[in-house]
């Protein structure tokens, strides 16, 4: 069937809304728990396409192809957000984006054909032809913001999971300073005194970061990890322990403070 029955217009009722809201909340919770948030917009686009088709009686083929286009773009965007800086993992994203553009073109053709063949719904299908690329661009922008938000959730999850590891490192440095009367002068000395390498923090974009150490003075030290994908560093400064671990942009890291002593050289943060 190409269009819905105009004698039976589609209406949202209170019962349908009451059923849809908890179902959507449950779906969102499960998607976030299993780290597949792309399921939510993918299903949402398909549902909206169905609602528009039932309400406006535009081309069913066009709406199906439009939903497929947005779904392909959604999953491609999810692949890109998990690429971990690997250029080869971006190839599936590019392929899905091209497929989404092809599906969008086919959807526009379907709307155009329906507009030419149907006098009753010609105007609505003609509007759909013009609206399709606009909707695609708006959805693409929304998905970019969606990916940023889900990426921040992954970061927060990793930070919570590794809190005991980071706190144990702080306690170790404090214990060493209490025994020797000063903090280790560099990372090599800290590794030697601890008897094990620096901890590694998993990272949801580029894979992992090694926690780095810098001595600011005999009493003050800094632990940090981050890099390009973190757009700065996550820092613990023993001079301000009440702040805990906090995010710092490149130009505000503690070892750049004017009042700080010149720290020893340290290697650049690892983000492999």
Nearest to 185, CA basis, from 210, 211, 212, 213: 213
Cβ 201 vs Cβ 164: under 8 Å = no
pLDDT band of 170, cuts 50, 70, 90: very high
- For the record, the structure tokens of 68 come out as 């497929």
What pLDDT digit, counting tens, does each position of 21-55 carry?
Answer: 777 777 777 777 777 788 888 888 998 899 889 88
Mean pLDDT of all residues in 141-160: 84
Helices (H), the chain: 14-33, 39-56, 60-81, 90-117, 122-161, 163-180, 187-194
Distance, in Å, from the CA atom of 193 to the CA atom of 171, rounded to the nearest integer, reads 13
Tell if the pTM clears 0.75, that is, is over it. Answer: no
Distance, in Å, from the CA atom of 252 to the CA atom of 249, rounded to the nearest integer, reads 6
């Amino acid at each position: 069937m190409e269009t819905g029955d105009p004698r039976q217009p589609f209406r949202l009722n209170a019962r349908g809304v009451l059923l849809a809201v908890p179902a959507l909340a449950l779906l969102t919770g499960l998607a976030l728990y299993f780290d597949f948030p792309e399921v939510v917009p993918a299903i949402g686009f398909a549902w909206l396409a169905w609602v528009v088709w039932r309400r406006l009686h535009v081309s069913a083929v066009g709406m199906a192809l439009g939903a497929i286009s947005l779904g392909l773009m959604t999953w491609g965007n999810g692949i890109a957000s998990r690429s971990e800086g690997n250029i080869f993992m971006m190839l599936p994203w590019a392929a899905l984006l091209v497929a989404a553009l092809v599906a969008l073109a086919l959807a526009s053709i379907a709307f155009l054909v329906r507009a030419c063949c149907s006098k009753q719904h010609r105007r609505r299908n003609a509007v759909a032809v013009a609206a399709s690329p606009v909707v695609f661009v708006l959805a693409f922008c929304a998905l970019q913001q969606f990916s940023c938000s889900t990426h921040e959730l992954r970061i927060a999850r990793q930070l919570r999971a590794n809190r005991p590891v980071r706190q144990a490192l702080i306690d170790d440095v404090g214990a060493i300073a209490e025994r020797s009367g000063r903090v280790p002068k560099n990372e090599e000395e800290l590794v030697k005194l601890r008897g094990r390498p620096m901890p590694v923090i998993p990272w949801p974009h580029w894979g992992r970061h090694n926690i780095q150490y810098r001595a600011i003075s005999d009493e003050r030290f800094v632990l940090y990890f981050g890099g390009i994908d973190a757009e700065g560093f996550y820092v613990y400064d023993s001079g301000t322990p009440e702040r805990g671990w906090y995010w710092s942009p490149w130009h505000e890291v503690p070892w750049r403070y004017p009042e700080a002593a010149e720290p020893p050289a340290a290697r650049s943060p690892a983000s492999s």
